[in-house]
Structure 1
């Protein structure tokens, strides 16, 4: 007896959850979406390869679920599942080309988002590399300035050594001239 009451209760609950939208008996939760789809795109199941109303209704329910997911952006986690459902609806000749356009836009947005993330990551890495290059440049500049100072010091040293050598050469020439002049003066002069 309890099973019969439960079955009757279950059946009446099920029937109260079902609403007729343009001849299709769909769940009440899908009514608003299906009415909006029919208003914008017409009877998308009119050319369905399946002739039974229950099979067409199944595909319309699936389309409504896909639309809900697209509208609430739940697509991201289950794109493959949604793609399969849309492909099944297309195979049944349900007009879902307008959903396909949303997929293309979603895929482009997803691709652009991925590219954007990669570019941000690359920018971050370039910033780190730039910072390292700037530090290296500062170190090399300091080394260069130190080398420049050592070069200038060595250059001054070479100039001083050159002057010392020239001065030494002059002293040597002067001393040699003096030596040579003493050799020319004999101690005793013969007449």
Structure 2
């Protein structure tokens, strides 16, 4: 009798894990996705910083108008603020900036002695801009740079030349991108977006 011997064999198990080729492809795909997403993330950061500065600016103007209306008849001043930094950490308010840059912040005070100068006993509110943006203001039309506005007892805004409108430009250049917005402010304290570069997130209406 012929007997056949059968050898039981088991299939070779498939090797688990990634080959170097598969790993390189995976890392490359991840790199492409990250590179595509970074500009969107950077743009969102710039828009957020810009919007934070815009909201601070609008809030202080509104506050100054309300204080002027319910005050004792003295005019209020809104000016570009100037800060001193001690040891790179603590910031101290000097007062109104001597130049025309509003980048450090904004200050409002009641001019009790009507001398047009700030002293610490007159301060009502000061805000430091945190977004790292460059902020400037100018008359509109004309484009003459300025560093202060006056709030009359009736809440209306004016300046030394009795203008009735001004522009505030807030700009940032980071991560290879530029984000800027120019706001038009009228003497009633109303802001609108005159122009912008990059994105406008809609927090302020277009003019």
Q: Which TM class, normalised by the smaller chain length?
A: under 0.3
Q: Which has the higher contact order (CA 8 A, sep 6+)?
A: 2
How high is the TM-score relative to the length of structure 2? 0.26
> Which is higher, the Rg of structure 1 or of structure 2?
1
Which structure dedicates a bigger proportion of its chain to strand? Answer: 2
Which structure dedicates a bigger proportion of its chain to helix? Answer: 1
